[in-house]
Structure 1
Amino acid sequence: MSSPTEAGDDAEIITASLYDPERFAAVFDRHAPHIQRYLARRLGGQIADDLVAETFLIAFGKRGRYNPSYPNARPWLYGIATHLVGQHRREEVREYRLRAALGPPVDQACHAEQVAAQVTAQAMNELLAAALASLAQGDRDVLVLIAWEDLSYEEVAAALGIPVGTVRSRLSRARKKVRVKLGHSEYALIEEVSNHG
């Protein structure tokens, strides 16, 4: 029996797990923290915990259909996770709107500079949450996979099962909408983060 931290690329491990299912644990060990972070950013921590488990359960069940020409399984896992986010779309939009309405909690005992920083952060969070909530699901998926998860256009295309050209057009559309919501100066940070691929 192999260790969950075994060497080899993901494709080799997934293929081997067809005959030795315990080997799939190495894929979980390698990628669960990334998928957890992605899902927590999209839906919040409580739902993320459930969906991480569901993501890997689905991946385990579909491992026989994994394309071994892809040595890194992370885009495939992001695709499964993104599909699960899509199933929770209403909750996701509601969560963004709730975050925009509530903002970060204000500490009564903080200094004036901390209060000013929190007010500025709250205003930016409200704008960003509203901007994300206003995007179509496909555009939002592309934007967050590139900006938050640092995936390339090709990896996003593989994760979502869409052509690279569609990734580019969705990202362009999302950037325009976010630019309008945030204003040009605040948008520069998002543009810098997501302008790669």
Structure 2
Amino acid sequence: MPADPEPTDAEVWRRAVDGDGEGFGVLFDRHSRAVYNHCFRRVGDWSAAEELTSVVFLEAWRRRAQVRLDGDSALPWLLGVAANVTRNRNRALRRQRAALARIPVHPDACDHADAVAERLDAERAMAGLLRLVRRLSRDDQDVLALCAGDGLSYAQAALALGVPVGTVRSRLSRARSRLRDLARAEPRALLSGERAMALNPAEEEL
């Protein structure tokens, strides 16, 4: 006797709307890795990516009754949320760094440079690429992460971002062109970033 087919995301989502926590767990099992990888590509930090993945799914649970999926997959919508939370995190981090820079350093303060230098190689390698990517506009960063990083189609990325497909195409073309220009000027940053992408973040445990 053939096994029952797996329920679609839309079916599982409807169960979650009715308060089925186990059903929502199915969505987490299906898509948490893709969300985690997206977050890592945007922030270049394993632990931050884990925290942001949790934020994405907490937000999804909180808003589950308000969301209507367009199609059977929840992934485009989840990655749209991930793009927003990583953008907000990066903005807050910039403000924090600016504030810390204004605080005078005590001469006896501990130097944690050695500990920082021992971070995962993938984080250090990804940092070079992120320096280039962050020189793109925020819109172009989002499209590049969703299409080039996460492998979404134009239509799925458009759904995640709430923009027309043509806008996704033009932004992606512009982002790739701009990134190529930046990479020619700073080739070492691109090479380090390519090594980081080769170290598949999916192999890290959430």
The aligned counterpart of 2:13 is 14
Deviation of 1:7 after TM superposition, in Å, equals: 2.2
- 8 Å contact kept, 1:131–1:177: no
Question: Could you tell me how far apart the structure 1 residues matched to 2:149 and 2:54 are?
Answer: 21
| Structure 1, gaps ≥5 residues long | 1-5, 95-104, 107-117, 191-197
The aligned counterpart of 1:78 is 79
The aligned counterpart of 1:170 is 171
| Structure 2, gaps ≥5 residues long | 96-116, 195-206
The aligned counterpart of 2:56 is 55
Question: Could you tell me how far apart the structure 2 residues matched to 1:54 and 1:14 are?
Answer: 18
Deviations 1:146-197 (Å, cap 9, x if unpaired)? 111111111111111111111112112211211211239x79xx9xxxxxxx
Deviation of 1:38 after TM superposition, in Å, equals: 1.1
- 8 Å contact kept, 1:130–1:181: no
Q: Which amino acid aligns with 2:40?
A: A
Report how many residues are paired. 160
Deviation of 1:125 after TM superposition, in Å, equals: 6.8
Task: Output the TM-score relative to the length of structure 2.
Answer: 0.67
Question: Could you tell me how far apart the structure 2 residues matched to 1:80 and 1:68 are?
Answer: 13
Q: Which amino acid aligns with 1:11?
A: A
Relative contact order higher in (CA < 8 Å, ≥ 6 apart): 2
Question: Could you tell me how far apart the structure 2 residues matched to 1:78 and 1:56 are?
Answer: 10
Deviations 1:42-81 (Å, cap 9, x if unpaired)? 1111211111111001101111122244200000100111
TM alignment of 1:32-51, pairs within 5 A: 32-43=32-43, 44-51=45-52
- 8 Å contact kept, 1:15–1:68: no
Question: Could you tell me how far apart the structure 1 residues matched to 2:94 and 2:153 are?
Answer: 25
Question: Could you tell me how far apart the structure 1 residues matched to 2:6 and 2:67 are?
Answer: 19
- 8 Å contact kept, 1:132–1:140: yes
Question: Could you tell me how far apart the structure 2 residues matched to 1:158 and 1:90 are?
Answer: 24
TM alignment of 1:158-197, pairs within 5 A: 158-183=159-184
Task: Output the TM-score relative to the length of structure 1.
Answer: 0.70
Question: Could you tell me how far apart the structure 2 residues matched to 1:140 and 1:47 are?
Answer: 18
The aligned counterpart of 1:65 is 66
The aligned counterpart of 1:100 is none
Q: Which amino acid aligns with 1:26?
A: V
Question: Could you tell me how far apart the structure 2 residues matched to 1:64 and 1:172 are?
Answer: 35
- 8 Å contact kept, 2:42–2:130: no
Deviation of 1:92 after TM superposition, in Å, equals: 7.2
The aligned counterpart of 1:98 is none
Q: Which amino acid aligns with 1:27?
A: L
Q: 1:8 to 1:90 in 2, by over 3 A?
A: same
Question: Could you tell me how far apart the structure 2 residues matched to 1:48 and 1:125 are?
Answer: 14
